């Protein structure tokens, strides 16, 4: 195996996970971030994000001398063999991707590299961005060096990001030369995983097409779930029957209150925007976006139809993150619903989440009450909303709601419980598609 000197720009989910996994596979890795406090935190062995197995691998590879952290990008980029760009590309108001962070890193690379270098864009960027990045870097070069830009999109899921990187189903690389392809293949050789090698624009499109297809699948099942409620069918039985068809598969068939997180909402809107810029209407993706927006507040609307007011009632909220296994709140349904609850006069909201509390406090520091157990949230509550299917929440038994709540009224956005069991337990229970 050839050992490469790799620099990763950005230590969010994409950059930090990539950097740690490259070090785990034997490369020398330097992770660059602009936040000095964050760098010190990582050097002390503390992971800045909640992600299974990541902190342990950070500590191991830092101790073994393959992993470094710095704010000194000038020194880091100077002698890098390959620089992976893993900075954020947040959504702009019109749905397009904000490429300002990618541009900033590209300029810094151009001004500081002193040897031939491969630049690898791992951030999710619109099709054609890698072409622009390469031209921008070449236009801004200070030293007479050779630079080629390649695409290497990530396909990790928050909560399983380390596993999704080390045991990926495939690695996608987009290059415009055999030389660049050779280097990327050598970097990934110790992973011993299938490599899909295409041109840059195809690699960029594979990322969007994959995420948007999964978003479509989720929105389709939620749409069917809504119809199931109207016609008396059970979405879980429908999903089970569908799952046996290998053309459909069993994954992403669970109905609920919509998708969230850092990828699906942003990527569906970005591809929709890109199509519009080219005079094309992506009707299927637009439908997925519309269905998801409505689905996220379906529980609140159900509760509003049932309640005369939320004012003066104790409202229990179980789960704040967009899914279990992460502390990420981006596009989490809890945000939409709590906003509506507050606007509707709810003044006694008690929320529980095993890891999401600190991040939620940044958005709502005083407006809601945070508790350390589900039981505290439920005690004396008039109504309960379930937004995330954490194991700590799934372990609550139907009789616990009856015993703890003042009025056992439960709105479950993740279909955790059996309708029959909740009914037998004396719970007024509402779920999705059943």
Q: What is the pLDDT of residue 416?
A: 97
Residue-wise pLDDT for 27-52, tens only, equals 999 999 999 999 999 999 999 999 99
Question: Are the CB atoms for 83 and 77 separated by under 8 Å?
Answer: yes
Confidence check: pLDDT of 195 > 90? yes
Residue-wise pLDDT for 201-222, tens only, equals 999 999 999 999 999 999 999 9
Largest CA distance in the chain: 76
Q: What is the pLDDT of residue 150?
A: 98
Query: Across all residues in the chain, what is the average pLDDT?
Result: 96
Confidence check: pLDDT of 290 > 90? yes
Question: Are the CB atoms for 201 and 128 separated by under 8 Å?
Answer: yes
Average pLDDT of the residues in 143-150: 97
Q: What is the pLDDT of residue 262?
A: 84
pTM: 0.92
Q: Give the model's confidence band at 1: pLDDT under 50 very low, under 70 low, under 90 confident, else very high.
A: confident
> Active-site positions?
263
Q: Give the model's confidence band at 117: pLDDT under 50 very low, under 70 low, under 90 confident, else very high.
A: very high
Cα dihedral 362, 365, 369, 372, rounded to 10, equals: 40
Number of Cβ within a 10 Å radius of residue 243: 13
CB-neighbour burial class of residue 70 (10 A; exposed 0-12, middle 13-18, buried 19+): middle
Confidence check: pLDDT of 252 > 90? yes
* Interstrand relation of 369-370 and 383-386 (parallel, antiparallel or unpaired): unpaired
Cα dihedral 291, 297, 301, 306, rounded to 10, equals: 130
- What's the CA gap between 272 and 289, in Å, rounded? 9
Sheet holding 195-198, edge to edge: 67-70, 28-32, 5-9, 82-85, 117-121, 147-151, 171-174, 195-198
Q: What is the pLDDT of residue 173?
A: 98
Cα dihedral sign, 316-318-322-326: positive
Average pLDDT of the residues in 4-27: 97
- What's the CA gap between 315 and 261, in Å, rounded? 24
- The domains of the chain, with CATH numbers, are 5-198 (3.40.50.720), 207-295 (1.10.1040.10), 298-430 (3.40.50.720)
- What's the CA gap between 20 and 57, in Å, rounded? 7
Cα dihedral 238, 239, 241, 245, rounded to 10, equals: 140
* Interstrand relation of 82-85 and 67-70 (parallel, antiparallel or unpaired): unpaired
Residue-wise pLDDT for 85-105, tens only, equals 999 999 999 989 999 999 999
Residue 412, beta-bridge partner list:
386
Confidence check: pLDDT of 325 > 90? yes
Confidence check: pLDDT of 371 > 90? yes
Question: What are the angstrom distances between the C-alpha of 2 and each of 9, 28, 85, 122, 223?
Answer: 22, 11, 21, 21, 50
SS3 letters for the chain?
A: CCCCEEEEECCCHHHHHHHHHHHHCCCEEEEECCCHHHHHHHHCCCCCCCCCCHHHHHHHHHHCCCEEEECCHHHHHHCCCEEEECCCCCECCCCCECCHHHHHHHHHHHHHCCCCEEEEECCCCCCCHHHHHHHHHHHHCCCCCCEEEEECCCCCCCCCHHHHHHCCCCEEEECCCHHHHHHHHHHHHHHCCCEEEECHHHHHHHHHHHHHHHHHHHHHHHHHHHHHHHHCCCHHHHHHHHHCCCCCCCCCCCCCCCCCCCCHHHHHHHHHHHHHHCCCCCHHHHHHHHHHHHHCCHHHHHHHHHCCCCCCCEEEEECCCCCCCCCCCCCCHHHHHHHHHHHCCCCEEEEECCCCHHHHHHHCCCCCEECCCHHHHHCCCCEEEECCCCHHHHCCCHHHHHHHCCCCEEEECCCCCCHHHHHHCCCEEECCCC
- What's the CA gap between 293 and 49, in Å, rounded? 27
Confidence check: pLDDT of 380 > 90? yes
Q: Give the model's confidence band at 330: pLDDT under 50 very low, under 70 low, under 90 confident, else very high.
A: very high
Q: What is the pLDDT of residue 231?
A: 97
Question: Are the CB atoms for 317 and 351 separated by under 8 Å?
Answer: yes
């Amino acid at each position: 195996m050839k050992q490469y000197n790799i620099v990763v720009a950005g230590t969010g989910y994409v950059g930090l996970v990539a950097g740690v996994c490259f070090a785990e596979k034997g490369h020398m890795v330097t992770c660059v971030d602009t936040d000095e406090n964050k760098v010190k935190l990582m050097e002390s062995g503390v992971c800045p994000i909640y992600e299974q197995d990541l902190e342990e691998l950070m500590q191991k590879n830092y101790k073994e001398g393959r992993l470094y952290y710095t704010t000194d990008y000038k020194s880091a980029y100077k002698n890098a063999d390959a620089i992976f760009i893993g900075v954020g590309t947040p959504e702009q108001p019109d749905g397009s991707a904000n490429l300002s962070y990618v541009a900033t890193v590209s300029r810094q690379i151009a001004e500081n590299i002193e040897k031939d270098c491969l630049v690898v864009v791992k951030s999710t960027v619109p099709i054609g961005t890698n072409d622009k990045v390469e031209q921008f870097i070449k236009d801004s070069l200070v030293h007479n060096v050779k630079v080629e830009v390649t695409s290497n999109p990530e396909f990790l899921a928050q909560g399983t990001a380390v596993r999704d990187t080390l045991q990926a189903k495939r690695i996608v690389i987009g290059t415009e030369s055999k030389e660049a392809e050779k280097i990327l293949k050598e970097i990934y050789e110790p992973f011993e995983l299938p490599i899909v090698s295409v041109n840059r624009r195809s690699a960029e499109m594979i990322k969007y097409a994959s995420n948007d297809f999964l978003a479509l699948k989720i929105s389709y099942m939620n749409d069917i779930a809504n119809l199931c409620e109207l016609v008396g069918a059970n979405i879980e039985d429908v999903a089970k029957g569908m799952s046996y068809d290998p053309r459909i598969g069993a994954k992403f068939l669970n109905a609920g209150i919509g998708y969230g997180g850092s990828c699906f909402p942003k990527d569906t809107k970005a591809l929709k925007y890109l199509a519009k810029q080219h005079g094309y209407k992506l009707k299927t993706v637009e439908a997925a976006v519309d269905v998801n927006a409505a689905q996220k507040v379906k529980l609140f609307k159900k509760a509003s139809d049932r309640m005369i007011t939320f004012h003066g009632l104790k409202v229990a909220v179980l789960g704040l993150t967009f899914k279990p296994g992460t502390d990420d709140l981006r596009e989490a349904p809890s945000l939409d619903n709590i906003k509506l609850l507050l606007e509707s006069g709810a003044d006694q909201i008690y929320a529980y989440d095993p890891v999401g509390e600190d991040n939620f406090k940044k958005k709502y520091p005083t407006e809601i009450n945070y508790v350390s157990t589900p039981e505290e949230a439920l005690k004396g509550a008039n109504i309960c909303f379930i937004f995330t299917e954490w194991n700590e929440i799934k372990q609550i038994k139907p009789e616990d709601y009856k015993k703890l709540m003042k009025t056992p009224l439960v709105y479950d956005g993740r279909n955790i419980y059996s309708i029959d069991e909740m009914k037998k337990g004396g719970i007024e229970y509402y779920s999705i598609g059943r």
